[in-house]
Structure 1
Amino acid sequence: MIAFSLRLAVSGGREAVARLLMIAAAVAVGVGLLLSTFAGVSAIDRANERQLWMNTGVKGATAATSADPLWWGARMDYYRGRTVFRADVAPTGPASPLPPGLSRLPAPGEYYASPALEKLLRDTPAVELGDRFPGRQVGTLGEDGLPSPDTLALVVGRTADEVKALPRATTVTSLATVLPHDCEYDCYGAGVHGDAMVLVLTVVAAALIFPVLVFIGTATRLSAATREQRYAAIRLVGATPGQVSVISAVESTLAAVIGTALGFGLFAALKPVVADVPFTGDRFFASDLTLTLPQAAGVVLGVPVAAALAARLALRRVTVSPLGVSRRVTPKPPSAWRLAPLVAGLAELGYFVGNRPETTDGQSTAYLTGFVLVMLGLVVSGPWLTMAAARAVARRTRRPAALIAMRRLADDPGAGFRSVAGVVLALFVTTATLAIMSTINANQGMLNGAPEVRKAIVDAPFGNRNDAALLPSVPDRVLARARAVPGFQGIALVHEDPAGTGQRSGRGIVPGLVSCADLAQIPVVGHCAPGAAVAAVDPYQLVGLVDASDREWPAAPVSEAEAAGLPVRMLYATTDGSKAAKEQLRTLFMKEFPHYEARLAEDWSSAGQKKLQGWRQLANVVLLTTLPIAGCSLAVSVVAGLSDRRRPFAMLRLTGAPLRLLRRVVGLESALPLLVVSALAIGTGFAAAAMFLKAQKDYDLVSPGPAYYGLTGFGLAASLGIIASTLPLLKRITGPEAARNG
């Protein structure tokens, strides 16, 4: 039977080939994107592994070996919002550990740079970046030591005494092989650790495959309706209704197999493109986009099997009579129990608010099953909601078109909902995706600080620690060079207050002293009390992200000359906001005071912004994929529905029903489930997003912006337009020849 079905699938001329290609194309797109998603997860894992060495020296990341110790001083620098990893090293013997990507350790006065940093150094004035790094470049860091082609990293050779003087310098006998659990300020390269991205990619995989399966089912129904005469001939020679269904299901399975093969080819073709998409804020190496054997086998076997099941379910109530009439067995009315999967999915997502699993794998399983249950619940409960809405409208309408449409929907709500199932799923995915993105953006998008704060640069000991070695003073030549930078506006020196003349901060930070003349140059952090010469300030609050120009600092009982003789804890400089001015000042401070770190407000949110950018990219991929497939599914479903009902419509036309009445019936039958279940899908999308955000980020849901409502309105309008575009088919398929007895 299967061999016979395969022959029939390809022996119908252009029409059969077009049908196969239509289903295969949809499967190919879904499979290609699904494989890209799986490969993205693998790429994140491999990128994480190759950056572990950057955490050498962090507690819990490095195991002891018998190698010669290596003096190691690592830090994270920034340039125009991009992170630059720097490791200063000094070997104590020939067996000192060697970072991956290097053939030898650099000698004092030498350094190795990553390809991206090497290019940046060539294209950037030295006063903005290159002057920070001592010595000369003698080589390039290899791919083995870089998580991404965009990684900015360098390994600098120094003497042991020079490394010892650096903050957090230590000796190590091996490089890090694990990422510590307590990985915050002291961890390097953790910005693309990607646990959250793995979780989101897992959910995206489910979001991509559902619309494709819906499309396969609707295309199979259309195929059955358009091949009615051939199926009737098969029935005349003794085929059973079940065998006819098998024939149609085999065609869809064949198309799915072809589409799966094409999907692997599409994945191979898209690999360079996917590698260039900065999902984690940086691009992937194309070689990292690999598939595991279980992933590949799961797609090869799972997609055709899912297609066969979708096709078989789509035809389970369709019977072709020996005279060529497609008839549908009237189904039992759906019960309210169909709401159970939807309620279960929402309940599962709600349970994990406050009970989030500890591991990434546990979170992936929890949220994946929750979102899949919700999407499955929308599909399962759609017929019941359609029936309830149709009955309610039928009780209140007296118009013939509305009455016929509602009675037909109430009689077979599954058929009415099936045509819009793809659009409903797309609206759910769109709503959940954009709601999550809007909320994350609202909570993290302003981390760069207020506009005036973004113009400032702060140079302070690493971590602004109280026990750090402070600058005895700032040479006049450094201040003169700072003032000579184009775009410089002002600078204030925050001196140590060892006598505690100011009040100690509630955070335990030793207060600082600033002359009021200096403070007047940086009004964004506040001002002195009237008549004061020196202000007592909290250094911790000086590095805040809000404009504090209205803050009044208390006067300190010391003279300006006495304060000027105290060690300098912090330099706070303001500019006109130009990137060149900020980076020149940063380079100057880093070169003159290597045991301090110069930071801009945008640096503190660099990792968060990279993740946010990656989530925006994923949102675009999901939206650009689900919406077109949903639109195609809607068009195919409406046409399939018309083909299924051409005989009843032809009989109505023979009894005198005008064509415009039938068009209103078809329009209402499609529009009611679309609008009713879409409202549920949108509300469910917001609810699922709210629970996901609360569980993962402890964020309250923020309403999406106008772009979401515009996109949703456009999607619904386009769906109604697709329905309207199929109505002219009624005239062609409901002629007298379609009214034959069956």
Structure 2
Amino acid sequence: MTNTVTKKRRGVRAWIADVAMGCRFAVAGGPSGWIRAALTALGVGLGVAMLLAAASVPTVLTSMEERQESIAVGDLYGDSPIEKPGDDTALLVERWDSYRDMAVSGTEIVPEGDNPPIPPGIDKLPKPGEMYVSQPLADLLSSEEGKLLKPRLDHKIVGVIADEGLESPGDLRYYAGGENLDTAGAYRIDNFGEKFPDNPIESIFLVLLVIVAVIVMLLPVVMFVAVAVRFGGEQRDRRLAALRLIGADAAAARRIAGGESMFGAIVGLVIGAGLLVAIAQLVESLTFWDDRPFAADIVPDPFLGAIVVIAVPLVAVFATQLAMRRLIVEPLGVVRQAKPRRRRLWWRLTLVVLGVASLGQLVLTGDFRDNWLTMTLVVTGILLLLLGLAAMLPWVVEKVVSRFGAGAPSWQLATRRLQLSGGSASRAIIGVAVAAAGAVALQMLFSTIETKEMNFTGKQENQAELYAPSGKVELAEIKEKVEEVPDVKVVEAYSSIDSEQDASLIVGDCEYLSSLAKIEACAEGDVFSADETAPKPGSKLDFINYNELGVNGKPLHKPQKWTVPEYRDRVTPKNDEVYTSILATPGAVDEKILELTDQIVVFESDRANPDSIEHVRNVAAGVSQHASVTEYMSSTESETFANLRQLLLVGVIATMILIGLSMLVNTLEQLQERRRLMSLLVAFGTRRRTLAFSVLWQTAIPVACGIAAALVTGLGLGWSLIRITPYKPVIDWGNVATIAGAGAAMVLLVTLLSMPALWHMMRPNGIRTE
């Protein structure tokens, strides 16, 4: 028993000693060893940064929701309004505006006691004529760019809203002191902060989109981390052979190799954490992304972060041991220097077949439901297909390059290098191929679902609408002011109001009414019925001035009554937007009712001149504090789909950047391995241009194979996923061509960036041997 325990202790000490020796070797060996360790750590660090960023998504979403909840007003429009003022109440009116495609949100607030609720981010409520603003809004108002916004926000700035009172770093928000809000439709509140109900994704197909996106963006990262720890494999093999020569056994050699990889992975974790901090600062400083998170919110979820910290060193050790599974380290060399064995195809095809079978069951049945079995089949199918592509690539590259022969010297240098050691080249482009295949499938799914999530409005995008709630300002006066704005043309102007009996009334001239319905004859004073549910002539309708409401939306005046006159005709609406029941000319409506109508002016503006629509917004602000300008859109989409679009764009860009950096690191690692050979070739008269083109071909051939295989796999995967849904597949060939072009552009960019290192390695002193 004692001997057994002693042997176990010796075995543990031997493991620790061998792993520690591997860690020392990772930083030993002079400049070449340091460069090799730096490349490994940098490669792992890039992957770790992406994984930690992905692990931060739950935290970011939670933080953004908490910020929104803290700013929201509790039960503002609820069923239990606060009826009586108190020492802890305040009157509040929310304002929404836009400025050059930027949302501006504000709140006017008046305290009703000595202890009113104070919104987060400020220490006290502003007085009338004062306002607190966010730092981005303060910068905008003080700049030349924001000069057209100042007339709408002419309060004195007395402070800046702190970060805890903002939704995002770019939030354009203000809190202004109000006056006479008891007649402006204000709501009485006693606190800030509201707990939002859970808002799950409403579409099962959006869930499918999220699943595909997560796999597509994270799988290449994991593969890259596994490849990065194998940088410097040839030098490591020679070092292990030397260790065997001085007495180390094969098991010790493997443990030393594992320790070397573990050291690179641990340093990569540190670098990845540092890169995450830099990424967080960069994201917060972006100006084109409105809903970006704060840098302090980009923190990995503890559970997911722990998985990354534990898994990366384990993946490093596993990848190293996997690379050595066919490697026999002998005192005088390694077997890898001999001709490699042919790659087996059967197990690679098995992954693809299993992936097809997993998705095929759902395709044949057409039964896609939100349950664990369906999601498991989808995730399993996608993973197996993409892993099958990754496994097939080395075999494909080997078969393709084995057929290459004669050609230019640069071509022969590249192809011969790929024929002798194509494994490292094919491993380097696995991430490229997997990302490209996933991107093709993702864009097919995205394009297909987009057709169902989009709502086409039938509006012209160069038009906008000025809406002025009921008031004393006449429609003709508003129309005249809008027409005075440069680069603006009024298209139509009309009045509208809804009665308490759910009957709608549109008032306009005959020309405008004829654009809404098929009217054969029209004269001033005519009234038309445009709906089967229209009130009968002689019916009494009640109209309320919703622009003059008291606290909590209570009307201040009694409703105005209007008797429906005789209809001249019953007309047929020209489009679905004419949901009103009564169309009338101004002469048919009482003057008191016209004073209660909302005034609408539709106009065209030159979108090349953004100042034109801002001048109209200033006109609206001068008409009424409740007036607004809405730009028409040809289509709208759900908020969830729009957020997914933005997140996917950020994720795809980040993944492509990682792939480009991974290819660059891999190319630099291969050049580092061949620096002596490069110097010898130059010394014997080889032109630098020949070596540069050989680097280009050596990168381009595997990438071409990978992109070709990725397009086939991506199209098949995308078709299978869409066939699960009830939609018809939509392929945007422009996006497919863009993905293929991105691969070609990446090859050129990597080659150009690797040229300085190549020129450095061609110097004659590279031949020196110590």
TM-score by length of 2: 0.67
Q: Which amino acid aligns with 2:241?
A: A
Alpha-carbon shift at residue 626 of structure 1 (Å)? 0.6
Find the partner of 1:276 among 270, 285, 299: 285
Change beyond 3 A, Cα 1:593–1:363: farther
Instruction: State the partner residue of 2:196.
Output: 179
Find the partner of 2:434 among 428, 431, 439: 428
**Alignment partner of 1:627 is 2:621:** no
Q: Deviation per CA, 1:100-126, whole angstroms, max 9, x where unpaired?
A: 112123344433222222222333688
Q: Partner of 2:174: helix, strand, or coil?
A: strand
Alpha-carbon shift at residue 151 of structure 1 (Å)? 0.2
**Alignment partner of 1:495 is 2:474:** no
List runs of 5+ in structure 2 lacking aligned partners. 1-17, 202-206, 408-414, 532-573, 677-694, 762-770
Find the partner of 2:181 among 162, 165, 183: 162
Alpha-carbon shift at residue 628 of structure 1 (Å)? 3.3
**Alignment partner of 1:313 is 2:308:** no
CA distance in 1, matches of 2:27, 2:279: 29
CA contact (8 A) 1:489 1:575 kept: yes
Find the partner of 2:733 among 703, 712, 732: 703
Change beyond 3 A, Cα 1:129–1:209: same
CA distance in 1, matches of 2:333, 2:487: 83
Find the partner of 1:143 among 163, 177, 189: 163
**Alignment partner of 1:239 is 2:265:** no
**Alignment partner of 1:221 is 2:229:** no
Q: Which amino acid aligns with 1:78?
A: S
Q: Which amino acid aligns with 2:631?
A: L
CA distance in 1, matches of 2:520, 2:397: 72
CA distance in 2, matches of 1:282, 1:295: 24
Instruction: State the partner residue of 2:553.
Output: none
Q: Partner of 2:175: helix, strand, or coil?
A: strand
Change beyond 3 A, Cα 1:164–1:587: same
Find the partner of 2:611 among 580, 592, 608: 580
CA contact (8 A) 2:281 2:295 kept: yes
Instruction: State the partner residue of 1:189.
Output: none
**Alignment partner of 1:378 is 2:407:** no
Alpha-carbon shift at residue 571 of structure 1 (Å)? 0.9
Q: Which amino acid aligns with 2:97?
A: D
CA contact (8 A) 2:506 2:584 kept: no
Find the partner of 2:713 among 681, 684, 692: 684
Q: How does 1:513-592 map to 2 (within 5 A)?
A: 513-516=507-510, 532=522, 559=585, 561-562=587-588, 567=594, 568-577=597-606, 578-592=609-623
CA distance in 1, matches of 2:168, 2:64: 7
Find the partner of 1:510 among 504, 510, 516: 504
CA contact (8 A) 1:533 1:560 kept: no
CA contact (8 A) 2:529 2:583 kept: no
Q: How does 1:443-462 map to 2 (within 5 A)?
A: 443=450, 452-459=460-467
Instruction: State the partner residue of 1:4.
Output: 21
CA contact (8 A) 2:53 2:276 kept: yes
Q: Partner of 1:45: helix, strand, or coil?
A: helix
Identical amino acids, percent of aligned pairs: 21
Q: Partner of 2:344: helix, strand, or coil?
A: coil
CA distance in 1, matches of 2:153, 2:294: 27
Alpha-carbon shift at residue 641 of structure 1 (Å)? 12
Q: Which amino acid aligns with 1:162?
A: L
Q: How does 1:66-465 map to 2 (within 5 A)?
A: 68-123=88-143, 128-133=148-153, 135-159=155-179, 162=181, 165-166=184-185, 169-181=186-198, 204-217=217-230, 219-225=231-237, 228=238, 230-277=239-286, 281-327=290-336, 334=344, 336-342=346-352, 355=368, 372-382=383-393, 416=422, 419-433=425-439, 436=442, 443=450, 452-459=460-467
List runs of 5+ in structure 1 lacking aligned partners. 185-193, 402-408, 462-469, 540-547, 644-665, 730-742
Q: Partner of 2:108: helix, strand, or coil?
A: strand
**Alignment partner of 1:593 is 2:624:** yes
Q: Partner of 1:139: helix, strand, or coil?
A: strand
Alpha-carbon shift at residue 615 of structure 1 (Å)? 3.8
Q: Which amino acid aligns with 2:605?
A: D
CA distance in 1, matches of 2:397, 2:227: 18
Instruction: State the partner residue of 2:31.
Output: 14
CA distance in 1, matches of 2:68, 2:499: 44
Q: Deviation per CA, 1:421-449, whole angstroms, max 9, x where unpaired?
A: 33132133135337646875895999898
Instruction: State the partner residue of 1:737.
Output: none
Change beyond 3 A, Cα 1:557–1:278: closer
Alpha-carbon shift at residue 603 of structure 1 (Å)? 11
CA distance in 2, matches of 1:340, 1:414: 27
Q: Which amino acid aligns with 1:251?
A: E
CA contact (8 A) 1:436 1:689 kept: yes
CA contact (8 A) 1:277 1:617 kept: no
Change beyond 3 A, Cα 1:709–1:345: same
Give the CA RMSD over aligned residues. 5.7
Q: Which amino acid aligns with 1:598?
A: V
Change beyond 3 A, Cα 1:10–1:413: same
Q: Deviation per CA, 1:9-29, whole angstroms, max 9, x where unpaired?
A: 444233222221221221222
Q: Which amino acid aligns with 2:615?
A: Q
Q: Partner of 1:51: helix, strand, or coil?
A: helix
Q: Which amino acid aligns with 2:617?
A: R
CA distance in 2, matches of 1:321, 1:183: 59
Change beyond 3 A, Cα 1:179–1:363: farther
CA distance in 1, matches of 2:175, 2:655: 39
CA contact (8 A) 2:475 2:493 kept: no
Q: Partner of 1:178: helix, strand, or coil?
A: coil
CA contact (8 A) 1:488 1:576 kept: yes
Instruction: State the partner residue of 1:735.
Output: none
Q: Deviation per CA, 1:5-52, whole angstroms, max 9, x where unpaired?
A: 344444423322222122122122222343344445533432321122
Aligned length in residues:
651
Q: Which amino acid aligns with 1:334?
A: R
Q: Deviation per CA, 1:336-358, whole angstroms, max 9, x where unpaired?
A: 34345455567777869975759
* Mean Cα deviation higher: 440-449 or 368-377: 440-449
Q: Partner of 2:168: helix, strand, or coil?
A: coil
Q: Which amino acid aligns with 2:492?
A: A
Q: How does 1:17-96 map to 2 (within 5 A)?
A: 17-39=34-56, 41-56=58-73, 68-96=88-116
Change beyond 3 A, Cα 1:693–1:722: farther
CA distance in 1, matches of 2:244, 2:276: 41
CA distance in 1, matches of 2:270, 2:454: 45
Q: Which amino acid aligns with 1:702?
A: D
